[in-house]
Amino acid sequence: MDSEIILSGDLPAATINRRVGAGELVRLARGVYTDATSEAPERVVRRNVTELAGRLFDRAVITDRSGPSAGPVDGILYLAYPGRERVVDLPGVTIAARTGAAPQKDDIALPGGVALASKARWMAENVMPSRTSARLGRRRLTTDELANWIDITIQIEGADRMRQTRARADELAASLGVSDEDIIRFDRLVGVALNTTTVRNAPRVLTARGAGQPFDPRRVGRFDTLAAALRHAQPQSRPANHGESLPFFEAYFSNYIEGTTFTIDEALEIVYDNVEPRGRPADAHDITSTFAITNDRTEMARRPASTKEFLDLLRERHARIMSARPEIAPGEWKTIPNQAGGTVFADPALVVGTLTEGFARIDALDSPWERALMSGYVVSEVHPFADGNGRISRLMMNSELEGGGESRIIIPTVFRDDYIGGLRQLSRNDEAGVYVKAMRIGQDWTNAVDFSDLNSAIEELRSLNAFVDDGSARLLMPARFAGAPSTEFDEQARVSRRRR
């Protein structure tokens, strides 16, 4: 396929001027053109960015902050090459080239004449000092960012491969212009992760791995995003609604979300009359075992005061809820990675460490409302068990509320996609606002419903569209909750109706 990129030296100047005037070429930058005139220039540049880098900068290498991703970061492609420092602004992408070493033997040749730095090279070059500018951002990774990549390398490739990468980085340092002081600092970071070195104020992700309790830094970052959002959000406090039928509906709807679906009449027979539906004993047990916990206010008021209590309580409650499903190892941490739709949850090796970091964030929050939302999200985001994670996440959330004298949160069927969408927005886009708003509506709604009588509660829930499962209606707020906010999300905050 012929190149879409034409440089000023490829054709006579008169020819280029004539073709630009005829609309056959579009100028992308000084001396850079394309004959893909029917497309947006930004798309053309993105598609040909490595060729552009290779043709504009002889013997260039993608490295520094662009090394891990092998491409532009926040619209900037960082290069090193044996020439003077130069910056080229193109539609949608800026190429920032600094003076540096030509490709080394283990750098990877890419189409277009540019090379991608080996992992040893970009790790070594990222320990060099870096300045931040308004135009070019921060050229190199921060210490914490580099530490995360060291941790990921050990997790995926193993400790031996990380040792080999460190050794190669040491070999390359002099030819790359990395000082002895900087490469020693890199060696020590790796040593912390391998538990062979102690460094004061080393990144937490490395000290945790060295101590045998590695965690997922991306998920911990999301915990911090949620914590910041909760601290800046309007406080929420709703007195506990202890209506007699509330625990039944909490158990019913929590199971319905997870696909354990019964009609309300079937669920009533299962819980109150001990009727076992034909062919579905485990499904029936899921509801009765969840109800056994939600209906026990003493149990629901148990809140963990330490990491050990948090982990023990998670396993204990999961074992009770899922005891009819021995194939999923009730109460045992998962051993196989799990996912829901496009969301991949924490790796099994990182479950305990990530939950530990999560509890530290829970424990640092002040109000039952904040702790509840963080508890529910931490468990949901880690997904520590083979199955039953949604149920246990909502139990842990409501336990914080019950123990703090606050109203629990029920997620009725009609509100399921809004709830799951809020989780998804935080997990995929680091946007906490939709989740916080959904849970605020959920607590307001739960607090306003009259759960004092089972039959009248069923009728009220029907009038509020609580049981609707086809997307044809929206959750309505009880009229008694004067001044209640609309349960409709505005267009900016509205979540996708796709499942998480």
SS3 string of 173-212?
HHHHCCCHHHHHHHHHHHHHHCCCCCCCCCCHHHHHHHCC
- Please name the CATH architecture into which domain 218-463 falls: Orthogonal Bundle (1.10)
CA atoms of 230 and 404, how far apart (whole Å): 17
Q: Is 340 helix (H, G, I), strand (E, B) or coil?
A: strand
The reported pLDDT for the residue numbered 340 is 86
pTM of the model: 0.86
Tokens of 272: 């109150």
Amino acid at 183: I
Q: CA separation (Å) from 215 to 16, 155, 441?
A: 56, 10, 32
**Among 448, 464, 419, which Cα is nearest to 254's?**
419
- Residue 305: how many other CB atoms lie within 10 Å: 9
The reported pLDDT for the residue numbered 100 is 97
The reported pLDDT for the residue numbered 242 is 80
Q: Are 266 and 280 in contact (CB under 8 A)?
A: no
Question: Block means of pLDDT (10 residues each) for the chain, length 500 residues?
Answer: 87 96 96 95 96 96 97 97 97 97 97 95 96 92 97 96 98 97 97 95 96 96 97 93 93 96 96 94 96 97 97 98 96 95 91 98 97 98 97 98 97 97 95 97 96 97 96 91 52 39
Q: CA separation (Å) from 363 to 207, 357, 366, 396, 413?
A: 21, 10, 8, 13, 31
Q: Are 75 and 129 in contact (CB under 8 A)?
A: no
The reported pLDDT for the residue numbered 482 is 61
Which of 87-102 are b and which e, b meaning 16 or more Cβ less than 10 Å from the residue's Cβ?
ebebbbbbbbbbebbe
Tokens of 79: 């290069």
Length of the chain: 500
The residue written with tokens 């009248």 in the block is: 456
Domain range list for the chain? 5-117, 143-211, 218-463
For residue 80, which phi and psi values (nearest 5 degrees)?
Answer: -125, 140
The radius of gyration of the chain's CA atoms, rounded to the nearest angstrom, is: 28
